Amino acid sequence: MTSASSAGTAVNRPSLRGNLALLSISLTVAIFAGEIAARTFYPPTRVGPSSRPYHQISADPDLVYEPLPGASLQVREGGADLLYRINAQGWRGPEAAIPKPAGTFRILVLGDSVVFGDEVNEEESFPRQLEEALRAGSSPTRRYEVVNGGVLGYNTYQEAAWLRARGLPAEPDLVVLETVSNDFENPLWAANYHAYTRSVPLPPGWFPNPDWVVAASQPQQELGWRDRLKEEIRLYNLAAGRWHLLLQTLGLQPRATDGPPDPTPDQYLAALLDYDSVEWRWYRGLVLQMRDLLAARGIPLAVWTAVGPSEARNPGWSQLTSPFERFAAESGIPMVHLWPVLQGRDLGPLYRPRGHFSGAGNRLAAGAVLDLLHSKGLLP
């Protein structure tokens, strides 16, 4: 009996191993098929953490992070196929010949995702729209070039650092700085959003408010394996999202909105209107540094302020033109605010789903900036 039973068991063992191998292969194929289906039918609704593939931690501590030369990412978002490509010089769009060819007037545009062209393809971005408008009215002997110095999530501190490290070597004849209201906010979330900066020393001057430096100096943990899986594997992202939604519906997990409320639009606006606030002093100091740095090289500086869709629809935001007009008068820097330009217009076609300008919005902004440059005699 013993030997017969042993023989039977020996016969069955290969079948068990075979079944386990078949099960493993089946699960692997199912997971791969599920991931392909998830990426095909449920693409990311925003660039979000996916922007990390074309950013890198910078060797320049003041930049914190910067675009990765030669990197590219293709996504589908808001019904559009978008390609984000970084050239070998480290910015989006055509490379700039160095030394600059004779007869070329080169404009460098500094800014954040608005200038970079988040949610649109490169040809629809603000720098390209400005370049096309300039070339349309230029003489055959004059060539205009516009360099895209926009980086996702940058604030004024990083834009000033990018000007020193990357912008000046591009030999600009004019620099145009874009400002947006979130330049005055805590920048830490943007950095962790676009690059893994949790273990990088952060420059104190990067923070508009010194109180935020203390919180940022606390030890931070790298993203855990679950967070990384949610970023890199779409199938896991969907499954985890549905699971958390179920737990929230059953009352077993707090909703993401639980916790301290965000400032209301009116509270946020009131803070921005305080011209003597620490954030405004921080901003003015950085812009004046850029003005003086450029003036020493004979390069003028102009500023334009972008406006999001919620701000454009809020009549209260018209007040924000006042502190910028005051700063323009005190500094002698030409400035244009887009809030008045947007009034009375159908805003729908001017913005993409996440609030960045569409191609049409960028054309409108480029037209307003071009009018400023002409009126101040900043163009040859």
Mean pLDDT, 10 residues at a time, the chain of 380 residues: 48 69 85 74 48 86 94 90 96 97 96 97 98 87 94 96 98 98 86 64 90 61 56 66 65 52 71 93 98 98 96 91 96 97 96 96 98 97
pLDDT at 253: 61
Candidates 60, 46, 55; CA nearest to 194 is 55
pLDDT at 47: 36
CA distance 148 to 162: 12
Pairing of the two strands 301-305 and 174-179: parallel
Other residues' Cβ atoms within 10 Å of the Cβ of residue 196: 17
pLDDT at 327: 98
